[in-house]
Structures are given as structure tokens and as C-alpha cells.
């Protein structure tokens, strides 16, 4: 996919997810492929005020592949200034405008999904950001805010006319958040009339689903969100299926290695986070253990006899205890042939 001067090799991207898509998780996913990766959404006003916690959300690693700086805000001049600051770091390959996050506190600020109601404002933000940076500017949005009140045609037109390099569309209404079916028909219709790349997003939990939605809708790419949690291999699997190759089986030893690597990288990130906060409730190792629980549940899901570990999740307060729990679960599995 060509985004201005930027070439992205894979059509399978990691969608931004608050609390998940930090540098540690992105880098683990990149170990198994993927095209473009988004940071957790950061508030433009916080970045301008030089808020250290806000800037921490844009922390990157050298080994994590191409990253888009993903920001939200409702004022074109503020978004433009923030985008220019992000570009100056030299750590991002694109700027992504969030016009789809349904979180109430973000919507209340007139940002995120609130922008869906005024496509002209989306166009103004994109135009301002494009004027402030040399990086390609992307848009992530939804088909509409309220049920059966689609605005995606107006949004896509405004984004394209303002200079967006690509648009990623979540096929649910913001009011539905992550519930209900994904309307791929509307995404397909936008792709049919757009001259810029269009990507689809929503409800992709397997590599096969990602490939099928990509091909049957004629899209330029798809964004994978919750389907990658506990399953960073989904990018490798999707790319293999897309090329007509079989997916490979993974051993319990590889599962353990990936969990250990993820934990190690998350500890490094938590050390940096502790430096940017005045008061941190936990030391980096304990903070990592608490943060990692949501990932651990998904990594171990489907394995035999792991329910006991899930029931005792509150006792996993260190990375050592997490790895001990992982080893316990693995020891309960049938010997691999």
C-alpha cells in the first residue's frame, strides 16, 4: 500500500486499543508481521502542555516496525501543532486522526466519535494537519454515531478532499461501541467510490476472518484489534493465508517464549513510565504483572486446565509469579508429539 511516499508491505494492521497497544505489545505483534501499528490514542492538548504521561503513550521501541502517531482532539489548530511536534520526534511514519473513539469523556470534549456528527470539522482538522506535517495523514472513524444514521459517505468525502492519505472505517455505530454486527457493506461501498486506500475494522478475531473481509470487500487493508490480544501470530497467519500458504502450528515452548518476551518488554516500558509520573502506585515489576493479566487470560485461553490459574489471578502480583503460573498450565498439557 502506498501512502504518499510511504510504502506499507502488509495489509494487516494493528488497530489502536487503549490499555493494550503500547510499545511492548506492538513490538511483539511486529515480530510476527503486520503492516502498520498505532499507539494508544493520546490527547492533543496534553501533548501540547508537555504532559509526561501523555507523551509516554507515544513511547516507541526500535524493533517494533512502522508506527502511526494516533491522536485525538476537536480543534484543527491544536491538532496541527500536536502533529508537527510528533513528526519532529522522528519516530513515526504517519499521523492518524481519531474520529471514532466512543469513550464518553472523549466524546464530551467534542473529539473522537463526536466528530462524526460534523464531517466538515473532520475535513478542517485533516487539512490543518496536512499543512503542518510532511508525513501522510490518516483518518480512523466509524460509519456513524447513532444507529441507522450513517455519515460515512460525507466523512470519507471530506477526508479525501482535505488530503487524507487513507481512511480506516470501523463498521459499527459509535453508540454501539463494540457490540453487534459489523456493517462491511458500507465499508465496501466507500471503497468502491474512493481514490485513496480504504481499510476495514471490527470483529476480526481470526486470521481467516481478516483475509476473507479483505478480499471479499476489495479493501486495501484491515485493522485487527482484540483478535491480536494473546494471539500476536494472527498477523503471520493472515499473511500466509493471503499468499495461499498453510499456517504453521506453534509449540507450547514458543507460547512460553512469547509471553516471557512480552513481559520483559513491558517491564522496560513500565520503568520509563515510572520516571514520567510523580507518583506511581506500583514498582515496574508489579505494575507489569497487573497490566499483563488481560493479556495472560488470552494467551492461555483454550489450554486445558488453566481455569484454576484464572481464578487465582489476583495472586499474580509479579512477573515471576506469572511465569510460574504459565509453567504450571503448560505442564498440564498433553506431551507434544
Residues with a known catalytic role: 101
- Listed in sequence order, the residues at least 6 apart from 69 whose beta carbon sits closer than 8 Å to its beta carbon are 39, 42, 58, 83, 86, 87, 92, 94, 95, 96
| Cα distance between residue 142 and residue 152, in whole Å | 7
Among 227, 316, 207, residue whose Cα is nearest residue 263: 316
Answer whether 119's CB lies under 8 Å from 150's CB: no
Answer whether 40's CB lies under 8 Å from 22's CB: yes
Length of the chain in terms of residues written: 337
Q: Extract the C-alpha cell encoding 292.
A: 499483563
Kindly write down the DSSP assignment for every residue of 180-210, as one continuous string.
Answer: S---HHHHHHHHHH-SS-EEEES---SHHHH
Angle at CA of residue 241, ends 236 and 247, nearest 5°: 60
β-sheet bridge partners, residue 224: 14
β-sheet bridge partners, residue 222: 12, 200
Within a 10 A sphere around the Cβ of 248, how many other Cβ atoms?
10
Amino acid at each position: 500500500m502506498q501512502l504518499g511516499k510511504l510504502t506499507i508491505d502488509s495489509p494487516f494492521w494493528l488497530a489502536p486499543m487503549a490499555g493494550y497497544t503500547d510499545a511492548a505489545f506492538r513490538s511483539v505483534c511486529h515480530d510476527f508481521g503486520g503492516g502498520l501499528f498505532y499507539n494508544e490514542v493520546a490527547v492533543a492538548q496534553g501533548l501540547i502542555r508537555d504532559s509526561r504521561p501523555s507523551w509516554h503513550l507515544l513511547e516507541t521501541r526500535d524493533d517494533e516496525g512502522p508506527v502511526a502517531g494516533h491522536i485525538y482532539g476537536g480543534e484543527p489548530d491544536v491538532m496541527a501543532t500536536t502533529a508537527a511536534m510528533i513528526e519532529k520526534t522522528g519516530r513515526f511514519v504517519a499521523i492518524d486522526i481519531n474520529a471514532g473513539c466512543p469513550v464518553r469523556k472523549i466524546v464530551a470534549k467534542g473529539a473522537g466519535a463526536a466528530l462524526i456528527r460534523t464531517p466538515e470539522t473532520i475535513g478542517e482538522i485533516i487539512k490543518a494537519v496536512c499543512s503542518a506535517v510532511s508525513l501522510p495523514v490518516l483518518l480512523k472513524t466509524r460509519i456513524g454515531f447513532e444507529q441507522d444514521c450513517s455519515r460515512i459517505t460525507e466523512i470519507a468525502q471530506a477526508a479525501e478532499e482535505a488530503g487524507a492519505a487513507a481512511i480506516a472505517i470501523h463498521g459499527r455505530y459509535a453508540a454501539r461501541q463494540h457490540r453487534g454486527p459489523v456493517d462491511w457493506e458500507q465499508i465496501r461501498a466507500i471503497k468502491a467510490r474512493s481514490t485513496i486506500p480504504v481499510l476495514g475494522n471490527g470483529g476480526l478475531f481470526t486470521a481467516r476472518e481478516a483475509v476473507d473481509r479483505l478480499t471479499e470487500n476489495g479493501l486495501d487493508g484491515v485493522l485487527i484489534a482484540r483478535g491480536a490480544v494473546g494471539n500476536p501470530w494472527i498477523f503471520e497467519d493472515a499473511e500466509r493465508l493471503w499468499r495461499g500458504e498453510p499456517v504453521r502450528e506453534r509449540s507450547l515452548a514458543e507460547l512460553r517464549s512469547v509471553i516471557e518476551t512480552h513481559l520483559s518488554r513491558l517491564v522496560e516500558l513500565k520503568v520509563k513510565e515510572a520516571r514520567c509520573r510523580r507518583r506511581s502506585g506500583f514498582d515496574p515489576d508489579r505494575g507489569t504483572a497487573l497490566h499483563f493479566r488481560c493479556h495472560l487470560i488470552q494467551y492461555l485461553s483454550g489450554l486445558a486446565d488453566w481455569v484454576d490459574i484464572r481464578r487465582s489471578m489476583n495472586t499474580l502480583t509479579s512477573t515471576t509469579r506469572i511465569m510460574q503460573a504459565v509453567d504450571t498450565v503448560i505442564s498440564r498439557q498433553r506431551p507434544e508429539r
